[in-house]
Amino acid sequence: MEESFAVKDCGLIAIATGQEAQNLRELRDRVQTIHPGCIYYHFWGGMLSPSFDETEYQNDFAAWAWRSLHDNILAERLAIIDPSQHRKIDSLRQELLDVIEERLAESELVVWAHPGQRFKFIRSQILVFDTGTRITAPTEMAEQIALMSRGSIFYHFIDARRRTDTARSDFVEWLAAFDDPLCMELIRRISAIDPWFTTLTALRQELAAVFDRCTAGGGEK
Amino acid sequence: MNGLLEKYVPIVGAEVIDHLRHLAEPLKGSRVVHVNSTREGGGVAEILSWLIPFKQELGLETSWEVIKGDPEFYQCTKSFHNGLQGAGVTIPAGQLEAFEQTNRDNAEQLRSLLTEADFVFIHDPQPAPLLHFCPERKGKWVWRCHIDLSRPNRGVWKYLREWVAGYDASVWSLADFAQPLPHPLYLIAPSIDPLSQKNRDLYAGEVDAVFDRHGLDPDLPLITQVSRYDRFKDPIGVIRAFQLAREFTPLQLVLAGGGAADDPEGEEVLREVREAAGDDPNIHILLLPADAHREINALQRASTIVLQKSTREGFGLTVTEAMWKGRPVIGGNTGGIRLQVINHQTGFLVNTPEGAALRIRYLLKNREHLEEMGRRARALVLDNFLVTRHLREYLTLMHALRHEGQDRIEL
């Protein structure tokens, strides 16, 4: 029998590590050894933290390459890294290092950021709590998602990719337990949502719309 | 529940308030003490004036204590403040003795409250030595630094570091400000209260009335800087920017500020500002009392553009306030201003009076852009810089302190 969906919520708190980089070589050296929480934070944390960076660069490394090193080629390559493709932080770390190494090999000059624009490594602690809300059927989800906090969307849609064995969102994991064509359609549509270039508020609307369309119309239209 | 938090639902949404209640539930009954050096004037006092009632409503036994000192103590702490922001200062040994003695005396008064508390938040350098004078403490002690310490005077920081290294954690407004210490350095940006007298919506008539009250011309564009009379706020640079811009377009300037009880330099800076303004009828220098929140609110809303041309700034809550009122801000390219003023999006970052003058002229010429920037500015504050986000991070911090060393805390 399918279990009900337990709605959880979360918050991040950022911690300065005191480590920083002023050029690409220093960034490479720090990334090799930095706390795994920093890699997580600089790829995902921006969605839950006050965000000031330009949204076309979806991780802090790419934004820094563009804004402080003025290296658009590097920024584009870093921006395309998809952290959800990596089950382990060390694998994501390696892809990040590969891109940096490649750029270092191409460049004759090491560009320095201004002293006030060093890359500051930050890590975070994530605090998760149960809201007490339980959802028993996919047909309830559209209404319930609209009521979820940004933290809940982050936890179930973003953080879940690192937490679950299948690297999928909690919504997909839950729906997979139902042997039902409607749920298969929901899984297909939810899996097609790109979590980048958006905000948690917009993601919440997108998810609610998917559930709303499918459950109201009985599937594909 | 007295309904304080419910008042924020129409602004931030019910889910945000529910989130706060869930976070606070396991902390109910905790004894929390905040200590700073002034109850009025300056951003720290403002933050504490809303933070304390919020925590109380959420069931935390929270109190706010203010240490008391003599003029020598405040001279010393003002020098700390200047030195920590990079100024060259020499602090006489007598003042350092007054600093330590004041803390020793205040520790005597507060000892039982502080040692019994589950969480103690000490704000800024003034009360920092209290930790040292309360060796029997039971709870977690956090030093909350509101100052830009990105390039401190090394001698001043070396002295203060000895007093703050022993805390369980410290909290900084930005990663750029954090100095290495042997404990976790948490990052929490400040915030504003959208329902405070300084930020709540006002009737149009109330806004219009400031023109009459201060002899302003309602038909002239108004540029305003609201801040203490402090050299790091560069009020002279603002006057220079105004003078340069006015050569091209008619406008008027308001410099509005008051003194903080812990700032003995204010009067001297105010004299310099008056001298720089001369007898120009379009420069209005206002010395407002510390509780003139509604007046500042109206002035910000009456302004066409708001300036915060600081050369050093901890965070710049006046920037947040102006942005919340939908005003673009021309800000100094420093500290927390850089996080709020997204260049060309919510305002402009400038480095010189000339740069400020250029951007004033640009915005006055391009009114649609000015309006659009103002809308973006308000949206940025709604998402990131309101008290609810700030409170959430304080509660998260308290959980984090209880679960030290865990990257993932499941309540």
**Chain B CB within 8 Å of residue A3 CB:** no
By the CB < 8 Å criterion, does B187 face chain A?
A: yes
Phi-psi category of residue B326: left, alpha or beta, with phi > 0 → left and psi -120 to 50 → alpha: left
- Tell me how far apart the 2 most distant CA atoms of chain B are, in Å: 65
- Please tell me the distance from the alpha carbon of residue A81 to that of residue B29, in angstroms, as a whole number: 45
**What is the DSSP pairing of strand B140-145 with strand B119-123?**
parallel
Q: Are residues A179 and A111 in the same domain?
A: no
Listed as ranges, residues in chain A with pLDDT below 70 are: 1-2, 49-56, 217-221
Q: Does the pLDDT at position B93 exceed 80? A: yes
Within its chain, how far is the Cα of A79 from the centroid? 12
Cβ under 8 Å to B: A residues 193-212:
none
A119 and A145 housed in the same domain: no
CA nearest B339 in A: which residue? A52
Contact A131 B184 (CB under 8 A): no
Q: Are residues A102 and A18 in the same domain?
A: yes
Q: How far apart are CA B37 and CA B94, in angstroms?
A: 20
Clarify whether residues A112 and A142 are in a common domain.
no
For range B360-371, the mean pLDDT: 96
Give contacts of A 138-177 with B, CB under 8 A. Answer: 147-152
Residue A24 shares a structural domain with residue A101 = yes
Q: Is B409 on the interface with A (CB under 8 A)?
A: yes
Q: Could you tell me which chain A residue has the CA closest to the CA of B334? A: A116
B408/chain A closest Cα distance in angstroms: 5
CB contact under 8 A, A128 and B409: yes
| Residue from the list B150, B392, B410 with its beta carbon closest to the beta carbon of A11 | B392
Q: Are B5-191+387-402 and B204-384 equal in CATH topology? A: yes
Torsion B261-B264-B265-B271 (CA) sign: positive
- Domain interval for residue A183: 137-217
Please give the pLDDT value at position B261: 57
CA separation for the pair B62, B117 (Å, rounded): 9
Domain limit, last residue, from A99, A124, A149: A124
For chain B, what are the domain ranges?
5-191+387-402, 204-384
User: Residues 6 or more apart from B366 whose CB is under 8 A from it?
Assistant: none
Q: Which residue in B63, B172, B158 sits closest to B120, CA to CA?
A: B63
- CATH topology for B204-384 is Rossmann fold (3.40.50)
Contact list, B408 vs chain A (CB under 8 Å): 125-126, 128
Domain shared by A88 and A147, yes or no: no
3-state secondary structure of A18: strand
A94 and A143 co-located in one domain: no
Amino acid identity, position B353:
P
Residue written as token pair 């969102």: A169
Tell me whether B17 touches chain A (CB under 8 Å).
no
Token pair, residue B30, equals: 């905790």
Which of these ranges, A192-201, B69-78, B134-143, B199-208, has the smallest mean pLDDT? A192-201
How many Cβ atoms are within 10 Å of B152's Cβ, its own excluded?
Answer: 21
Identify whether A196 is part of a domain.
Answer: yes
Q: Measure CB to CB from residue A13 to each of B15, B380, B400 and give the nearest one.
A: B400
The answer, yes or no, to whether residue B183 has pLDDT greater than 60, is yes
Q: Where are the alpha helices (DSSP H) in B214-251?
A: 235-246
What was the pLDDT predicted at A53? Answer: 47
The nearest alpha carbon in chain A to B171 belongs to A15
- The chain B residue lying nearest A132, using CA atoms, is B22
Shortest CA gap A44–chain B (Å): 14
d(CA A172, CA A157): 9
Residue A179, min C-alpha distance to chain B (Å): 31
State percent of chain B over pLDDT 70: 98
Task: Check residue B35 and report its DSSP letter.
Answer: E
pTM of the model: 0.85
Distance from C-alpha of B36 to C-alpha of B254, rounded to nearest angstrom: 30
Residue of B nearest to A17 (CA): B185
Q: What angle do CA B384, B388, B391 make, to 5 degrees?
A: 110
User: Cα separation of B194 and B54, whole Å?
Assistant: 14
Pick from A93, A124, A155: which residue ends a domain? A124
| Residue A130 domain-assigned (yes or no) | no
Tell me how many residue pairs between chain A and chain B have CB atoms under 8 A apart: 92
Q: In whole angstroms, what is the distance from residue B162 CA to residue B139 CA?
A: 20
Amino acid found at B184: P
Strands A119-135 and B408-410: parallel
Co-location of A110 and A85 in the same domain: yes
Question: Which residues from B are below 8 Å from A18, CB to CB?
Answer: 178, 180, 185
Comparing CA positions, the residue from B265, B269, B276, B267 lying closest to residue B242 is: B276
The model's confidence at residue B15, banded by pLDDT at 50, 70 and 90, is confident
**Beta bridge pairs of residue B225:** B255, B307
Please state, in angstroms and rounded to a whole number, the distance separating the CA atoms of residues B21 and B392: 9
| Token output for B215 | 């002899």
Instruction: Please name which of B194, B189, B173 lies closest in space to residue B293, comparing C-alpha atoms.
Output: B194
Rounded CA gap, B48 and B259, in Å? 18
Whether the Cβ atoms of residue B98 and residue B70 lie closer than 8 Å to each other = yes
Between CA A28 and CA B149 the distance in angstroms is 27
Do the Cβ atoms of B377 and B347 come closer than 8 Å? yes
- Please list every residue in chain B whose beta carbon sits closer than 8 Å to the beta carbon of residue A122: 175, 187
Question: Whole-angstrom Cα distance, residue A149 to residue B19?
Answer: 7
Are A17 and A123 spatial neighbours (Cβ–Cβ below 8 Å)?
Answer: yes
The answer to whether the beta carbons of residues A128 and A155 sit under 8 Å apart is yes
What are the start-end ranges of the H helices in B117-195? 154-164
B65: phi then psi, degrees, rounded to nearest 5:
-110, 145
Question: Given pLDDT bands bounded at 50, 70 and 90, which one contains residue B411?
Answer: confident
Residue A55, pLDDT score: 62
Please report the beta strands in B248-346, taking only residues with DSSP state E, as ranges in sequence order.
252-257, 283-287, 305-308, 329-332
Question: Is it the case that residue B225 has pLDDT exceeding 50?
Answer: yes
Please give the residue that has the higher pLDDT: either B264 or B393.
Answer: B393
Give the relative orientation of helices B387-402 and B43-57 as an angle to the nearest 10 degrees: 70
Residues A141 and A83 in one domain: no
**What whole-number distance in Å separates Cα of residue B385 and Cα of residue B340?**
9
**Which residues 106-165 on chain B approach chain A with CB closer than 8 angstroms?**
150
Strands (E), B106-168: 119-123, 140-145
Give backbone dihedrals phi and psi of B52, rounded to 5 degrees, phi first. Answer: -65, -55
Q: What is the pLDDT of residue B260?
A: 58
Total count of domains within chain A? 2
Residue A66 CB coordination number (10 Å): 21
**Residue A21 shares a structural domain with residue A78:** yes
What is the structure's pLDDT at B1? 47
Give the mean model confidence (pLDDT) for residues B51-77. 95
Residue of B202, B410, B186, B187 whose CA lies nearest to B298 = B202
Phi-psi region of B405 (alpha: psi -120 to 50; beta: other; left: phi over 0): left
**Residue B26, φ and ψ in degrees, nearest 5:** -70, -10
Class of domain B5-191+387-402 as given by CATH? alpha beta
- Burial class, B365, CB count within 10 angstroms (exposed 0-12 / middle 13-18 / buried 19+): exposed
What is the structure's pLDDT at A116? Answer: 78
- Are A145 and A113 within one domain? no
The type of residue at B334 is T
Average pLDDT over residues B3-13: 92
Tokens encoding A47: 């969605």
A170, A210: one domain = yes
**Measured in Å, how far apart are chain B's first and last C-alpha atoms?**
23
Arithmetic mean of pLDDT, B362-366: 96
Find the length of chain A: 221
Give the separation between CA A46 and CA A67, rounded to whole angstroms. Answer: 16
Single out the residue in A58, A92, A124 at which a domain terminates: A124
The string of pLDDT tens digits covering residues B280-290 is 999 999 999 88
Least reliable range by pLDDT among A147-151, B195-199, B261-265: B261-265
* Cα(A123)–Cα(A129) distance, integer angstroms: 20
Residue A168 lies in a domain: yes
